[in-house]
Amino acid sequence: MKTVSPGLAAHLAGGAHTMATCWLVTRTDGQVFGFTNHDLDLVIDGVTYAAATGIDRSTIESRQGLSVDNADAVGFLDSDAITHEDLRAGYWDHAEIRIFEVNWADLSMGQLKQMRGWLGEVSVEDQKYKAELRGLMSALNASVGEPYGPSCRARLGDERCQKNLTEYTAAGTVFVATSGREFTTDLPAQTVRLTPTTTGAPPDGYFDAGLLTWLTGLNAGLRAEVKRYEGGDVELQLPTPNAVQVGDTFSVQSGCPKDRDTCFTKFGNVVNFRGHPDLPGTDKIIRMGGV
């Protein structure tokens, strides 16, 4: 049950309302942003809620029980504080959001809370942003535990893998920038660990599924997954939010196909392999005896 102050309850019971909707967004890096559909900025609890035209919020659907609250907001990300590049870089992914209404003519009446949750999928269409708002109950839809299968469940270099990736990491420089996804580098001139006992130039496919971190340039500090490495040419899974330029530097870690043979021959780390390639499949488990 939602509760409001007596003053706000009396205002809502009246025939004319001066209500405004506010969004308080807290990004995962701690930055806080406020937005309102009012035509003037509002200052509430020390946060300035910037007036943004064209905000359109769908009806918030709330149900009893454990059903998830659903809502969409169109255009509320259309602000000078939020850029297309920031969205593509993932700065706004999983940001916490609180939606409430206030009487803009008398902010002392308090708030009518509408929804609390997180930003989900953000899409761009016809130069307009649409953000999915996920309520608190959405956390109950998350899978608990891990599936078992032939592939390793650990992430290369994490606390379960325990592999030191220093010698499996190379520093590179962009020689030719074809696009935000494809560019040519000096990686063939670098030396990396090939097996537990040998080193050399990285062969084709060495960095496939590896993690690339930009050190300089317009994308400095951002990370991207490598889709393909061949002869010094790098193709990323997704384009960078900013242009890749000649001279940009980066570091890139070897990828891992997460199979037992590679874990043994390339990394010498089979003792920490977290896959189960010998686990019988479903056909073995359900088949009739003697068949």
User: CB-hemisphere CA count at 13 Å for 188?
Assistant: 10
- Residue 272 belongs to a domain: no
Q: In this structure, are 37 and 126 located in the same domain? A: yes
Count of domains in the chain? 2
Do 181 and 134 share a structural domain?
no
Please indicate, yes or no, whether residues 179 and 91 belong to a single structural domain of this protein. Answer: no
Mean pLDDT to the nearest integer, 232-260 = 94
Q: Would you tell me how many other CB atoms lie within 10 Å of the CB of residue 74? A: 16
Task: Give yes or no for a contact between 75 and 52, defined as CB atoms under 8 angstroms apart.
Answer: yes
98 falls within a domain: yes
37 inside domain: yes
- 15 and 128 fall within a common domain: yes
- pLDDT tens sequence across 32-54: 988 888 889 999 999 999 886 54
DSSP state of 155: P
In a domain, 285, yes or no: no
The pTM score is: 0.62
Question: Rounded to the nearest 5°, which phi and psi values hold at 283?
Answer: -60, -35
pLDDT value at residue 135: 66
Sheet with 32-36: list strands edge to edge: 42-44, 47-51, 32-36, 19-26, 96-103, 111-125, 128-135, 70-74, 56-57
Q: Per residue in 82-134, pLDDT tens? A: 776 677 667 777 888 888 999 999 999 999 988 888 877 666 666 666 677 77
Q: Which two tokens stand for residue 95?
A: 């940001």
**Shared domain check, 98 and 65:** yes
Q: Using the predicted structure, report yes or no on whether residue 247 has a pLDDT greater than 90.
A: yes
Is residue 156 assigned to a domain?
no
Pick from 139, 128, 111: nearest CA to 72: 128
Do residues 107 and 223 both lie within one domain?
A: no
| CATH number for the domain that contains residue 211 | 2.40.10
> Are both 108 and 190 inside the same structural domain?
no
How do residues 189-229 score in pLDDT, each as one tens digit?
999 999 999 999 999 999 999 999 999 999 999 999 999 99
Asked if residue 121 and residue 46 are part of one domain, the reply reads: yes
Specify if 134 maps to a domain.
yes
Residue 47 tokens, joined: 């946060």
For residue 124, CA distances in Å to 70, 75, 88, 153, 227 come to 19, 10, 10, 33, 24
CA-to-CA distance for 181 and 179, rounded, in angstroms?
5
Residues 128 and 12 in one domain: yes
- The tokens describing 55, both together, are 């905000």
Beta strands in the chain (DSSP E): 19-26, 32-36, 42-44, 47-51, 56-57, 70-74, 96-103, 111-125, 128-135, 169-177, 182-185, 192-195, 198-200, 211-214, 223-230, 233-236, 249-253
Domain of 205, in residue numbers: 166-253
Same domain for 221 and 108: no
112 and 40: one domain? yes
Cα 192 to the chain's mean position, in Å?
30
Assigned domain for 282 exists: no
To the nearest whole number, what is the mean pLDDT of the chain?
Answer: 84
pLDDT band at 65; cut points 50, 70, 90:
very low
Q: Does 134 lie in the same domain as 10?
A: yes
CA gap 228, 202 in Å, rounded: 13
Is 231 contained in some domain?
Answer: yes
- The share of the chain scoring above pLDDT 70, in percent, equals 79
